[in-house]
Amino acid sequence: GLDWARLVPSAEAVALGVEPVAMARYRQIIDMVNEAGMQPMLTLFHHSAPAWLAGQGGWTDPSAAIPAFYAFAEGVIDALIPCGASGAAKNVGPSAKLHSIVPFNEPHVFNLLTYCGGVWPSTAENTNRPPSPPTCLSEWGLYGVAMKTMAEAHGAVYDKIRATEAKCGMAKGAIPVGVAHHVPIYSAYSFLDEPARKILEWHTTFWFHDL
């Protein structure tokens, strides 16, 4: 996973694109992984949220989070999937440097622990605050709002990747894109447990589409 805060260290840096030295380091890491005979599954958001984004409301404010995440993702995609003599198809795909791109890893885990549990990120402010009300987990609570925001951001990044394929002359779908869901195995002990099973399943998969 990439560290968003390392590549975009401040809110003012959003308009400037990803930090070139940090991006070069990630390219070097990808090359090292390839040399070891492996292909990275590139994750853009693996629970590494910039402090400056949290100050703007984090994922509970779609007007701030979606444009900021898209700008970050756009910079990474343009840096790692260039069109030109080297050919974009050589950089991403099942037989290329990068196997696939995952915009979000386990989004429900981050949102549950951050906006309902208050334990992520671990700060004195979060540790000392009272527990969030049960409504936090509802579609209209902070959890639901943050999940919707991430789902919309995921869709925007998906469109960017597909547009990059078209621009670079690649076949549509050549770059695998998806969400890394938490892997649950929920089995109802009896028919009385079925509603609880469905609720848990909903909170895990939500409205994300693996495209």
Percent of the chain whose pLDDT exceeds 90: 32
Instruction: With beta carbons less than 8 A apart as the criterion, state whether 26 and 83 touch.
Output: no
CB-based contacts of 68, cutoff 8 Å, min separation 6: 8, 11, 14, 53, 56
Tokens found for residue 153: 């951001």
Domain that holds residue 193: 4-205
Evaluate whether residue 158 is within a structural domain.
yes
Asked if omega into 121 is within 30° of 0 (cis), the reply is: yes
pTM of the model: 0.83
The pLDDT of residue 184? 63
Tell me how far apart the alpha carbons of residues 17 and 101 are, in angstroms, rounded to a whole number: 19
Evaluate whether residue 211 is within a structural domain.
no
Among the ranges given (152-156, 186-190, 202-206), the one the predictor scored with the smallest mean pLDDT: 202-206
CB-based contacts of 183, cutoff 8 Å, min separation 6: none
Tell me how far apart the alpha carbons of residues 1 and 130 are, in angstroms, rounded to a whole number: 32
Tell me how far apart the alpha carbons of residues 110 and 49 are, in angstroms, rounded to a whole number: 10
Residue 148 has pLDDT above 60, yes or no: yes
Evaluate whether residue 113 is within a structural domain.
yes
The pLDDT of residue 130? 56
- CATH at residue 26: 3.20.20.80
CB-based contacts of 127, cutoff 8 Å, min separation 6: 118, 119
The pLDDT of residue 200? 73
Tell me how far apart the alpha carbons of residues 137 and 112 are, in angstroms, rounded to a whole number: 8
Residue 23 pLDDT grade (very low, low, confident, very high; cuts 50, 70, 90): very high
What phi and psi values does residue 82 have, to the nearest 5 degrees?
-80, 145
**Residue bearing tokens 């970050």:** 72
Tell me how far apart the alpha carbons of residues 53 and 71 are, in angstroms, rounded to a whole number: 13
The pLDDT of residue 204? 67
Residue 85 has pLDDT above 50, yes or no: no
Residue 5 has pLDDT above 80, yes or no: yes
The residue-averaged pLDDT of 69-84 equals: 87
Evaluate whether residue 79 is within a structural domain.
yes
**How many domains is the chain partitioned into structurally?**
1
The pLDDT of residue 61? 92
